[in-house]
Structure 1
């Protein structure tokens, strides 16, 4: 049996279509096939989905994998493909787009399955699924109502109505007592449309109505509408005549999407004001489940074998909707919106509740949830925005947030609380998809409005201010970020207390600012405070504790306390997946610490960290680039200068593209590249790069920043090597003076500056003093002594902390 995902059960009442199934099989060998309504039945109802289901089951033995994808909405398509990624063993990236691209590529390569069938159901916009269409030895089958499919994308195959023989077979399979002549008369009235025939058979089966009685009822309505609409009308009438509440329940379902609707979702309506007939059904689980079975029995929806979920065909939904008066439409829509809001599990960041949001999210459009006027309804929209973001579907998060912000701006005004909340989440999504300038501008605009309307101490205002701080860090404006986050922290602590979770996050952000500014002592004090509070709240191994330990390790690394950093990291636990962002930060710090301690495992740690970063975030992520810089330093320490140069050269190019030419991280990575060129003996070239980079760093972060000091230390060595001895001594002396003032005389990088200055001055006593200091800092046998024994300058590599 093939691996299966989402494939609906086989229809035991499927009849005929043998020629059509043979054509599908033949066409799939030449590329994707799209099943469309026939021209004479453009509304649908010709059985495209049933044909696709039957094909998948009939030819299951020919495939290693069959995956069914509900494609009515892009978010549903992407969620199903994410599930396929797990089945294929494709590593999950932080950005779902990367995961989906990897799914497409794995299918195209035939890894791990060569023969596969992917079915996109209700893909009514070709452009929505085109990016996900794989090639290779597998097959792609699509059902759609949209005629705009081109031959370059898929081969169109119109699905006609039944032949008369198939119509008669279907009717008689549901009603064996029906004569061939009566079946022929019913089929003639229904124009052989499969959905209409199925409805007729279901009504006769449920009511025991004779062929003559059914035809009489049909003729009574036939002048009013098309055959399929008449068949639907008779089914809806019969359903309502049995238990009136059943029809009302189905009317609610017409405001939901074609995705499966669970009884639990319908049950959420039990707390709402309802008509007595409907209330009597939804407030008792067994009655609700019985109503779902009756709706299915009349052919008006499909019920899954477990009796858990109803699926309503788009055509059925549309016909119900056309029957409603404006007042009835408004009342039902309000009830559905309330029902969806009542089913909101809350806390969209918690993966434990994602399966519930996966059920709710497809129904937002059909119910027009964005148009709801109740606050809890709009909050569900916001929570769905956040759910998409939390699971890495940034495109869906951005699209929904953008729609919400635009609708609410028009309906509620620019300064309404939930308009601003949607704008805040939109900025997050924009930043995540790389539109950092748009995110920054939107966040600033939102923050200004929130301060005017709600005040600077409002919790939502503070949350946006935190986000603005993140924007400033990404821009490289570390000082501005520190100023904003310090003000935020004062407000958080005054309003909520020092140990309040969001106050701790703000303190964590301020520590990151201080670390980026080179104030490792200040960052350490904050991180130690945050760690104590978080340990009192969470169990060890919780993501927020891991994040704080990683930050503290970077602080201690910056202070030159490599043993202390290693101790902090050793206590962090292993509860997080290796590709969690906080685990990756800790992993990068571990590789940096191992390198500085002379541990030969450093390179393997750094390369493993870089590999996972690439899988999780892609090549252009700032976390991947920082991991590449650290891996380059480890490769150099391991003697592999060529690989180190390659890593840094690529990282510098990408930093220029992602963060810009003047960003401190771009300049710091460029200083590292100059170090690789210096190690290759090309001092004149390294000097040119170093002088330009040092100027940029002094402008952006100041001459006393560790980035600038590391660059200046290397540049002094280049100046000495090209014969500029006096300039080299002056720069080396200035760098040592600044390093002593900023980092202290015993910091390993200060000791390296002392050694390098002694080299330029030829002072044996100063050299010995530096060697003694190295012994104190590193202990005997450290690799640094191989460098000093050869009379070479000691590099002070620049590693990059998290942004």
Structure 2
């Protein structure tokens, strides 16, 4: 049996369509096929979805994998494809776009399944699914109401009404006692339209109505309509019969008019129990047993599908539309308010918690059909904000941006630009914009939002502080580390005053301030803060929680910066209870620091650790992420330490080019990576080229982070070596002496990089006593047998290469 995902149950009453099924099979061999309504029934109802379901079951043995994707909304499509990624064994990337591209590519390659069937249901906008269409040996089947599919995308296959013989068989399958003559009469009046036939059969079966009685009612109903069609008349009779038998059931179904075609769980409908409702409807929804019974009755009248477990109703778009057209404007408004309240009542809260994501995935498809953005109560708008955050938290930045952008536009007009929830939506929109690489747009929007929040709700409001934190992230991304420190320090004072120092958000703010200090080269200050945050988090969370992993990784980078490589390795060692996956962003930070510490300690395992970390970072974040680029720099340092100068040069050359593209020419990270590239160029003997790079980089670093920053000192140390190679002894000695003096003041006399600078200066002096003292200092710091002594034995300069901390 093939692996199945999301495939609806097989229709046991499916009849006919043999020629169509055969033709579909033949067409699929030539590429994607889209099932469309026939020209005479462009609104649908001809059984496209049932045909796709039947095909999937009938040919199941030909496939290793069958995956059903609801494609009415882009967010639903992306969610279903993310589920397919897990089944294919595609590693989850931080950005869902990368995961979905990997899914498409894995299917196209036939890995791990060569024979597969992917069905996109209700894909009414070809452009929405085109980026996800795989090629290869598998098959793609689409159902759609939109006739504007081009042959380049998919082969169109119109689905007509049933043949009369098949219509008769369908009716008699539901009522074996029905004569062929009566079935023919009924099928003729319903014009062989599948959905109308199914509604008529369901009503007759449930009510016991005779064919003659049903046809009399049919004519009556048709006479009441200006434009009677078989679907509209059959629907009207089914809705009428349901309303007569159980008015509360019809009222419940009318609520579904404002929900999507996605399955509607009883739990969602049950959420309406807290709302003011008609007494009979209230009695139905307040008790699970009665609610489930109502769902079964609705399904028996053919007005919705019900899954075998009786958990979820699915209402056909045509059925939804017809209920909506029957409602008065007053009833429409009242039901819409109820549905919005029901959705808000079903909000699980805390969209950052993966445990509740399945519930948000269930709610999110209904936001559009219920026009939740137009809700006039705060809790309804809060659900929109939580769904924006849910999409962001699971890595679907495009869906987060789209929903946030729509919310900002609607709420600015409806509520005003300075309304609290307009500003909240703008805050989340900026986060999504930053995540998709639109850093300037994110920064500008955040600054505008922060100014407005400070004017309207004050600097101490929790929402203002959240936006200020986001502005701090923008500043770090721009390389304005000092400005970020000032802002985050002010935020931390306010958070602690309002909530206390152990409040989770206050701890995140402290974490941000520590990151600023680390980026400024103040590793002692960062360490003090990170140790404090780690203590608080260990008191709040279990060991191995992502927050504690983040704190341990941050503390490890602090210790590394202080030259305590053994301490850095110890603080991030795997502990019992660690459950964070190896490719989690915080785990990747820790893994990179472990490789860095191993390299500085002379451990030969360093390169393998760094290369594995880089591979996972690429998979998780993509090649242009600042995390991946930092991992590439660390991997290049390990390759160089391993003697592979070509490999180090290749990694650094690409990283520098990408830093220029992502962060800009003058960003400290771009400059620091360029200094690393100069070091590799210098090691290959191209001293003039290295000197040119180092001179330009040193000017940029002195201007951006100052002369005492570790990045600047590392570059100055390299430039001194360039000058030595050029025979400029006096300038080299002066620069080396200045670098040593600054390193002693900033990092301390016993820091490994300070001791390396002392050795380099000793080489320029030629004094054997000074040189021996410098060598003794290296032995004290690194211990006997360290690879650094191969460099000193050759009387060469010791490099002080840069590893970049997380932004």
Aligned to 1:692, which of 664, 676, 696? 696
After TM superposition, list the pairs within 5 Å mapping 1:199-348 onto structure 2: 199-223=199-223, 224=225, 225-348=228-351
> Is 1:715 aligned with 2:690?
no
TM-score, normalized by length of structure 2?
A: 0.99
Residue aligned with 1:364, SS:
helix
Question: Which residue does the alignment assign to 1:387?
Answer: 390
Question: Which residue does the alignment assign to 2:407?
Answer: 404
Question: Which residue does the alignment assign to 1:78?
Answer: 78
| TM-aligned CA deviation for residue 18 of structure 1 | 0.4
Distance 1:686 1:419 in 2: 52
> Is 1:613 aligned with 2:617?
yes
| TM-aligned CA deviation for residue 59 of structure 1 | 0.6
Distance 1:137 1:260 in 2: 31
> Is 1:465 aligned with 2:468?
yes
| TM-aligned CA deviation for residue 284 of structure 1 | 1.0
| TM-aligned CA deviation for residue 760 of structure 1 | 1.5
Question: Which residue does the alignment assign to 2:66?
Answer: 66
Distance 2:418 2:73 in 1: 31
Residue aligned with 2:376, SS:
coil
After TM superposition, list the pairs within 5 Å mapping 1:582-661 onto structure 2: 582-661=586-665
Residue aligned with 1:141, SS:
strand
Question: Which residue does the alignment assign to 1:152?
Answer: 152
Structure 1 runs not aligned, ≥5 long: none
Aligned to 1:503, which of 506, 522, 528? 506
Q: Is the 8 A contact 1:35 1:156 kept in 2?
A: yes
Distance 2:36 2:382 in 1: 38
With 559-568 and 477-486 compared, the bigger mean Cα shift is at: 559-568
Question: Which residue does the alignment assign to 1:169?
Answer: 169
Question: Which residue does the alignment assign to 1:358?
Answer: 361
Distance 2:341 2:729 in 1: 78
Question: Which residue does the alignment assign to 2:377?
Answer: 374
Cα 1:415–1:709 shift into 2, 3 Å: same
Residue aligned with 2:145, SS:
coil
> Is 1:424 aligned with 2:424?
no
Distance 1:68 1:399 in 2: 24
CA-to-aligned-CA distance 1:59-105 (integer Å, 9 cap, x gap): 11111110000000000000000000010000000000000000000
Question: Which residue does the alignment assign to 1:99?
Answer: 99
Aligned to 1:670, which of 671, 674, 680? 674
Distance 1:229 1:377 in 2: 33
Question: Which residue does the alignment assign to 1:49?
Answer: 49
> Is 1:32 aligned with 2:38?
no
CA-to-aligned-CA distance 1:637-661 (integer Å, 9 cap, x gap): 1111111111111111111111011
Distance 2:538 2:174 in 1: 65
| TM-aligned CA deviation for residue 567 of structure 1 | 2.1
Distance 1:27 1:142 in 2: 12
CA-to-aligned-CA distance 1:147-204 (integer Å, 9 cap, x gap): 1100000000110011111111111111122221211111111111110011001000
Cα 1:451–1:251 shift into 2, 3 Å: same
CA-to-aligned-CA distance 1:197-236 (integer Å, 9 cap, x gap): 1100100000000000000000112232212100000000
Q: Is the 8 A contact 1:69 1:77 kept in 2?
A: yes
> Is 1:562 aligned with 2:562?
no
Distance 1:541 1:211 in 2: 67
Structure 2 runs not aligned, ≥5 long: none
Distance 1:96 1:570 in 2: 29
Distance 1:339 1:443 in 2: 32
Q: Provide the aligned C-alpha RMSD in A.
A: 0.8
CA-to-aligned-CA distance 1:292-351 (integer Å, 9 cap, x gap): 011000000000011110000000000000000000000001000111111111011000
Distance 1:761 1:684 in 2: 22
Distance 1:638 1:528 in 2: 33
Question: Which residue does the alignment assign to 2:19?
Answer: 19
Q: Is the 8 A contact 1:707 1:798 kept in 2?
A: yes
With 317-326 and 525-534 compared, the bigger mean Cα shift is at: 525-534
Aligned to 1:531, which of 507, 531, 534? 534
Distance 1:143 1:274 in 2: 37
Q: Is the 8 A contact 1:546 1:572 kept in 2?
A: no
| TM-aligned CA deviation for residue 570 of structure 1 | 2.2
Distance 2:438 2:649 in 1: 30
Distance 2:691 2:636 in 1: 20
Aligned to 2:746, which of 735, 742, 746? 742
Question: Which residue does the alignment assign to 2:763?
Answer: 759
CA-to-aligned-CA distance 1:774-794 (integer Å, 9 cap, x gap): 111111111111100000000
Distance 2:205 2:669 in 1: 72
Distance 1:674 1:625 in 2: 17
Distance 2:574 2:747 in 1: 26
With 110-119 and 164-173 compared, the bigger mean Cα shift is at: 164-173
Residue aligned with 2:417, SS:
coil
Residue aligned with 2:459, SS:
coil
Distance 2:503 2:207 in 1: 63
Distance 1:113 1:43 in 2: 36
Distance 2:542 2:65 in 1: 41
Distance 2:389 2:350 in 1: 9
Distance 1:335 1:495 in 2: 37
CA-to-aligned-CA distance 1:756-787 (integer Å, 9 cap, x gap): 11111212111111111111111111111110
Question: Which residue does the alignment assign to 1:127?
Answer: 127
| TM-aligned CA deviation for residue 535 of structure 1 | 1.5
Distance 2:155 2:573 in 1: 58
Distance 1:97 1:510 in 2: 31
Cα 1:572–1:551 shift into 2, 3 Å: farther
CA-to-aligned-CA distance 1:444-494 (integer Å, 9 cap, x gap): 000000000000011110010000000000000000000000111111111
| TM-aligned CA deviation for residue 572 of structure 1 | 5.5
CA-to-aligned-CA distance 1:24-76 (integer Å, 9 cap, x gap): 00100110000000001111100000000000001111111100000000000
> Is 1:781 aligned with 2:781?
no
Distance 2:574 2:707 in 1: 35
Residue aligned with 1:333, SS:
helix
CA-to-aligned-CA distance 1:247-269 (integer Å, 9 cap, x gap): 00000011100000011110010
Distance 1:174 1:541 in 2: 57
Distance 2:183 2:564 in 1: 88
Distance 1:391 1:572 in 2: 26
Aligned to 1:770, which of 765, 769, 774? 774
Structure 1 segments, 4+ long, off by >6 Å, are none
> Is 1:433 aligned with 2:446?
no
| TM-aligned CA deviation for residue 571 of structure 1 | 6.2
Distance 2:572 2:189 in 1: 76
Residue aligned with 1:34, SS:
strand
Residue aligned with 1:570, SS:
coil
Residue aligned with 1:591, SS:
helix
Residue aligned with 1:146, SS:
coil
Distance 1:413 1:715 in 2: 56
Number of aligned pairs?
A: 803
Residue aligned with 1:177, SS:
coil
